[in-house]
Amino acid sequence: MAKGDSGRWRVAPGTKVDLGEIDTRSTDGAPGDKADTQEVVEGLHEELAGLQERLYAEGERSLLVVLQAIDAGGKDGTIKHVFRGLNPAGSRVVSFKVPSEEERSHDFLWRAHAKVPGKGEVVVFNRSHYEDVLVVRVHDLVPEKVWRPRYEFINDFEANLAAAGTRIVKLYLHISKEEQAERFRARLDDPSKRWKFRTGDLEERKRWDDYVGAFEEAIGRTSTDHAPWYVIPADRKWYRNWAISRILIETLEDMGPQYPPAEDLSGVEVV
C-alpha cells in the first residue's frame, strides 16, 4: 500500500478542529465503490493480522487504539469488522463504561492506565480516558476548573506510554446527526439490535452540539506527534472500515516489528 495515505485523516498538532467542515459521507481515496472497497478490505485483514503476529512475536512494543464517537458512531461495528482475525493471544478490547466505585476512588487516568497494552499486545479502547473531558464536560459532572487541566494530564500520560514503547492511534468516528437518527431507527426496527437502544440515547441526542464542541476541543488539544488523532468520515461503514484498516497497517508498517531470531538449531533433530 502507498505510504502516507493516513495523512488525509490525521489532525496535525495545534490544529483548531471544526468538525462541521469535514464531510461525514466522504469517500476520499477509496479504491472504488462499496463493493470494490469491501473486496480490498478483505485483503487488508490478512495484512493487518500478519503485522500483529509479528508485533506479538517480537514482544518489545505495543499498539493502543482509542475509539471515540458520538452515540451510534460505529465503535462496536469497527471492532467487529476491522479487528476480526487478530490473534486473541496478543489482542484485547477494553470497554469503558460508567466508573465503578473503586475507579472513582482514584484519579481519572487510573482505570485507563491499568488496561493499556503490555509488550507485544494490540489493545483497543472502546471509549477511553477521553470520557473525562467529554461526557464529564457535557453533563457538568465536575467543575470546568477540574476537567480543563485534564488535557495536559492526558498529553503527559500518552507521552509516557509512547516513551515506554507504546504506539498510540486515536480514531474519532465522525457521523452526521442525520446518520445517527437513521441508525437509531434501524435499532428500533430490528429486534436483534433493539437491545442497543436506550431511551436515554434521545436525551443525549439533544446535547449534540455540546458533544461536538467537546470533541473538537479534545481532539485539537490532544493530537500530538506521538499520539495523533484521526477524524474518520463514518457515515459510510464500508469506507470507515477501509480507512481505519489502512491507518493501522501504515502504523504497524512504520513500527516495523520483526520476528525474533531463532536460537541455534544446528544439530537439532525431531525424533
First to last CA, the chain: 43
Within a domain: 133: yes
Dihedral sign computed on CA atoms, order 154, 119, 163, 174: negative
Q: Look up residue 246 and give its amino acid.
A: R
Within a domain: 265: no
Helix 237-255 × helix 34-58 angle, to 10°: 30
Within a domain: 262: no
- CA angle 249/71/20 to nearest 5° reads 75
Strand partners, 124: 65, 93
Say what the pTM is.
Answer: 0.95
Report d(CA 162, CA 7) in Å as an integer: 20
How many CB atoms are closer than 10 A to CB 188? 12
* Domain ranges, residue 46: 5-255
Within a domain: 260: no
How many CB atoms are closer than 10 A to CB 140? 10
Q: What pLDDT does residue 1 have?
A: 35
Look at the block and give the residue holding cell 502507498: 2
Q: What pLDDT does residue 4 have?
A: 65
Q: What pLDDT does residue 100 have?
A: 95
Q: What pLDDT does residue 266 have?
A: 81
Q: What pLDDT does residue 2 have?
A: 39
Q: Which residue numbers in the chain have pLDDT < 50?
A: 1-3
Report d(CA 7, CA 3) in Å as an integer: 9
Q: What pLDDT does residue 237 have?
A: 98
Torsion angles phi and psi, residue 166, rounded to 5: -100, 120
Within a domain: 270: no
CATH number for 171: 3.40.50.300
- Residue 95, all three cell numbers: 470497554
Within a domain: 261: no
Within a domain: 116: yes
Within a domain: 271: no
The count of domains in the chain is: 1
